[in-house]
Structure formats: structure tokens, C-alpha cells
A and B are shown apart, each in its own frame.
Chain A
Amino acid sequence: MAVITYREALNQALREEMLRDDRVFLMGEEVAVYQGAYKVSKGLLQEFGEMRVVDTPITELGFAGVGVGAAMVGLRPIIEFMTWNFALLALDQVVNAAAKMLYMTGGQFPMPMVFRGPNGAALQLSAQHSQAWESWLAHIPGLKVVTPGTPYDAKGLLKAAIRDDNPVCFLEGEMLYNTKGEVPDEEYVIPLGKAEVKREGDHVSLITHGKMVLVALQAAELLAKEGIRAEVVDLRTIRPMDVDAITASVRKTNRCVVVEEGWEMCGVGAQVVDFVQRHCFDHLDAPVLRVHQADAPMPYAKNLEKAAKPDVPKTIAAVKQVLYIDA
């Protein structure tokens, strides 16, 4: 099995799906001539030409709408946002058009399209470039929301997203593009809506997704040295959320910590906690705790940024709290 980067895994998924189906095209800022702001689309213009790999003006609302229109008449657009931060300008198309089209047309117009791009904080990009949007998007019926944390998942989930006949918001991790992992040479597709236990354990469940999968795994590794066996459940898809996987893990461990990149209020973790209290009430030995970004816009200064972000020490502290272990 080859070891490749998350970026290469995404590139392979795009290329394979464009080869498989000529209705699939990629559109966004700098995706063609520049080869992608993060080089995810490297080589695709040369292979598929300018009708299928389309550079746009800086016009997020506009090209998101072009994607919706193309999907209405049978194409399968992949709309790249240079970052999801810029996608705020396009949310009318994502929410009011793509998500609702099937429903408000009585089932006449499916939206087989993907909105994708990097999500969440990188390093010292401060307030407007460091935001995790999955809880916003997951609020909307009619959308699917996918957050791969590893190269293997990135490739398999992106292929599934492109093949799905619904609008899929695919949130990549800006800090994950250079991470490496094993990816099979043979073709595979990972179904949307299925979580994966990334590490087994029976003392506490760490429910997480996206970039925080790596944080949770590192925390679990350190906890193991103290004899604490943490189970890491990677949701992979936020909507639909794999309630069964959450329930199975928490019923086994009886304790739960949710680790997410975004803010606390109405975050993904709030939804996980709701599922846990409904389905695991009699199994809980401690209140569920959440690890998340501080309740402030992202600051620039290194020390403040570090303090704002969820990380391994904060995760370990939360785990010890639900185990009633003094830190």
C-alpha cells in the first residue's frame, strides 16, 4: 500500500472520478492554471482541459450558483472554495438553493454536487481565515457534511461525495494536506454517514472528526501510557451522523468526551451530547464534556492562538475529569 499525502489522496479521487464520469467538472478560484491554491487539483487542467477544470473570478456566490444551475440540468459539479471562510459569501446558494432544491421542487431536481475546500484554523491566520463551519452546514436539512481526517478517508469519502446525488459539503483540513497515510492502490469508496473507530478502548470514548482525529489519537496514545484506554470514534460524516457508532462506543465505555475544532455554542459536540443523553442515559458514569475552540474569534498572537485551540493537553484534561482522576 502506498503512503501518500492527504493532498495527493484528494487529487487521486478527483482524477479517478473525472475519468469515470464526464459529467463531473471542477470549478473554483485558481483550480486550473495555478493548479490549486493548495495544489489539490495539480495536473487536472492538463489532463481534462479548460471546460472541465475551470478557473473562476473571485466570485464565490456566483460560481456556487453556476454549480447549482449546472446540477439542475444534469452535470455533476465540484465547486472548490479556496477556503470555507470565503464560502460565507456563497451560503445563499449552498443553503437556499442547493440544500432545498430537491424538496421545494417536489423531488424533480436532485443536486448531485460537491462543495469542497479547506476548513478550520491553520497557523496564525487570525480571525477571518480560521473558522470551522461544519456545525453551521450540518444544521441544514438537504445537505450532507463530510470531514475526513486521514488520507485514506479523504480519498474514499471524496469519491463517495462525487457519486452521491445530493449536495455534499466536503470540509478538508488545511493543516492536513501534508499529512501522510496508507492508501490502497486498488479502487475503494467509503460510504457517507459511517463513523469509524480509529482506536479501540474501554475507559472513555473520544468522539471527534476532521483535523481533531489526529489530536484525539495523540491524546489516546499519551493516556495509554498512564493506563487509560481511550476509544477514538471518528464521525467522518457530520450529517447524517452515525448515531449507532456513538451509542455503541459510549455504552461500552460509559464516559464520553467530544473533541471538535469549532466553537462551543450550538456546535457539533452539542448534537453528539444530545444523542448520548437520549441513547446512553443509563450507561453514563459522568457528565459528557466537550473540548472546543475558545469562545472568541481566532487571535493572531501565537500564545493566544494556542490558548484558543482545542489540543492534546485539553483533551487529556477532559478525559481525566470524566474519569474523576485528579490532573
Chain B
Amino acid sequence: MSTTKPSRRRGAASSDTASTETTQSSTSAEQSPAERKKLHTELLYSMLMQRRFEERTAEMYAIGRIGGFCHLYIGQEAVSTGFISLLREDDYVITTYRDHGQALARGMTPRAIMAELFGRIDGCVRGKGGSMHLFDKSLGFLGGHGIVGGHIPIAAGVGFAIKYRGGDQVIVCFMGEAAVNNGAFHEALNMAALWKLPCLFVIENNRYGMGTAVERASAINDIYKRGASYDMPRDVVDGQDVFAVRAAAETAIARARTESMPTLLEIRTYRFMGHSMSDAVSGTYRTKEELEKYLKRDPVVLLRSTMEEAGDLSADEWNAMDEEIKAIVQDSIDFAENSPEPPLEALLEDVLVDTTSD
């Protein structure tokens, strides 16, 4: 066993990368104060929506309105918002079973998601998928996949299709850090690099694959270095800072869009909740002290503080936003409660289509 102490510093994560490893850009063009405030308000809104939505999701799970596996994203909201806020409408997003945050950030309505979590007909996939399988074709939101690593080759396939048609869209593929130990990750990255596909492979390193710490699962603890195997541009980013995430995303999106080149990004973040609703927040595999240390870098709080310090967010503005979001989330719960269960005929619907290309 290696005794090398892994680098787990936070905050300035990119500083532990060799200069040859990093290509992170500086911030985008200068903004006017009004533009800045507008953008930052949008980012905060997106992140706070995810937070409040999932707080109520946990509550609904606890009282039995939501069943099955339910994996919360709380603590990682700067990652989804950071990337997805930079995408075009015709770009694509694909992710894992921890998908509520990305779905909201991409514009899926809280109603469609909550109704899906409740297993109702007005859910985004008509009650067929639940928490782990959120999809919306009209938003280029390609799921919502339940097998660790399984969606990574699918992302390469979307990249292949973009190139096949000569388009300039990109696909952002989110995954957890534990997926990099899976063969599908390597097979997909090899093809994406070999064929120069416009894919962003975004590793949300939240430190734990279920209950197994990254140091206990990966021979390389600086996960982004895995990109070296495929000569793929790569970077490591502080995932609690939405601006750091956006800076890295901007560079990678431009690389995919204009050069049709993939990028591997390790985003260092932390989940504030258990792996799923059945997992304690702290206990066997991580301590309360560790959790408390990371809670000090809550991405929503960090953005809020930045905005307050810049004079972009007053107490009234914060309260108004929070109240508005809470009302929307409550509306989504009311909507889900009132949405019918799927009719029994739906059981055998959508197993096959009866169409051909004729």
C-alpha cells in the first residue's frame, strides 16, 4: 500500500496541478455591475432552487410520499449550475442517478420532477423512472442513469452523433469520482480522445463512492490525472465556488465547440447528505467533524456572501428570492399530490414502439 498522503486541499485546488496539466482560463470578459448582478442573481437562484427543492424532497421521502432510491445533491449545486448555465439550448446534458440538481439547472420544472418522485402521471417520464431516471428530450436532458459508469459511453455516442452531423453542440457528462474505476469510463474516454468528440467529462469528486473514500478506491487520488492516459486536456477545480466551476467549464465548452476536443474535469466538492436517503449523514465512513469542516464551504452560502459583499444582494432581495423559491417548491408538492397515479394500462406501454423508418 502506498503511504503517500493524498492532496485533499480545498479552495485553491487547481494550484496542486502541474502547469502542464492545467489550462484553466481567466474569467470572461469584463461585465458592467448591472450585468454582474443579473448573472450572479441567476446563478444564486438556480442553486437555491436545487437546495430548497431537495430539502423538501427529503421531507417527502421521510413521510413516504417518495419511494425507492433517492440520492440528494445538496452541497454540490455549484457544479450543476456552473456548467449548465453556460450551455446553449441545443447542447446536451447526461448524468447519474443523483440527478435532481442537474435537471433543475437545465430547466426542468419542479412540478415535473416532484410528480416523478411521487410516481405520478405528470412526472417527467410519466412515473416510469422515479428519482434516478429524470429525462426531458425537449431540453436535451438525456438522464438520469442508474448504473455507475454506464452513461459515459452513451455520452461519447452523443458526441459521435454531433460530429457525424457536423454540428457544434457539446455534451456535458456528469459522473461521480467512483465511476473512474469502472471500465466504461476508460472505454469512453479512449474513444472520445481518439475520435475527437465534443464531450465534457465532469467528475464530481464528492470524496465518497457510497461509503468508500476516494483514497480507498482509486490508485490515483488526483483523479483528473486519469486524463493523461488518453492525452486528454484536464483540470481540477474547486467545486464549491461557482465562479471557478464556470471558468473551467467555459474553457472546456469552447474547446469542445470550436475544436471538437474532449476535456476531463475533476470538480472537488462534497455531499452534505448521505449517499442516499437510507444512509446516515455521518457515521461509519465519515465523521461529524469532517462534515462540519466541509459545511463551512457551502456553495450557496459562498455565493450569497460574495454577492452581499459586492452589494449585489440585499437582505430583502435574498428573502424575496428564498420565499419565491419556497413557494414554487410547495406548488410542486401540491401539484404532485394532486397528479393521478399512472393508469394500469401504462404498465405495458412504451416497452416497444410500433413504428419503423418507413
Contacts and interface: CB of A to CB of B under 8 A. Distances in A.
A76 B353 CA distance: 15
A147 B188 CA distance: 30
B126 A107 contact: yes
Nearest to A96: B147
Interface residues of A, number: 46
Contacts of B349: 107
Contacts of A56: 191
A65 interface: yes
Given A59-B191, A62-B188, A165-B353, A106 B126 contact: yes
A96 B137 CA distance: 19
A50 to B, nearest CB: 10
A73 B158 contact: yes
Contact of A92 (B92, B147, B352, B356): B147
A97 B155 CA distance: 12
A112 B127 CA distance: 23
Interface string A135-173: 000000110100000000000000010111110000000
A65 B357 contact: no
Contacts of A104: 125, 128-129, 133, 135, 144
A97 B154 contact: yes
Nearest to B189: A62
A62 B187 contact: yes
Interface in B118-135: 123-129, 133, 135
A66 interface: yes
Interface in A28-62: 51, 56-57, 59, 61-62
A68 B153 contact: yes
B184 A65 contact: yes
Q: Is the interface of B mostly helix, strand, loop or mixed?
A: mixed
Interface in A233-270: none
A61 B184 contact: yes
Interface string B138-168: 0000111111001111111111111110000
B128 A106 contact: yes
A6 interface: no
A170 to B, nearest CB: 15
A200 interface: no
Interface in A104-147: 104-110, 112, 141-142, 144
A76 B358 CA distance: 13
B353 A166 contact: yes
A97 B156 contact: no
Given A92-B150, A105-B129, A163 B358 contact: yes
B351 interface: yes
A61 B183 contact: yes
Interface in B90-132: 92, 123-129
Contacts of A65: 150, 152-154, 156-157, 184, 187-188
A51 B350 contact: no
B190 interface: yes
Contacts of A163: 356-358
B355 interface: yes
A81 interface: no
A107 B350 contact: yes
Nearest to A113: B157
B234 to A, nearest CB: 19
B194 interface: yes
B187 A59 contact: yes
A74 to B, nearest CB: 7
Contacts of B128: 103-106
Interface string B175-195: 000000001100110110010
Contacts of B188: 62, 65-66
Interface of A: 21, 25, 51, 56-57, 59, 61-77, 92-93, 96-97, 102-110, 112, 141-142, 144, 160, 162-166
Interface of B: 92, 123-129, 133, 135-137, 142-147, 150-164, 183-184, 187-188, 190-191, 194, 349-353, 355-358
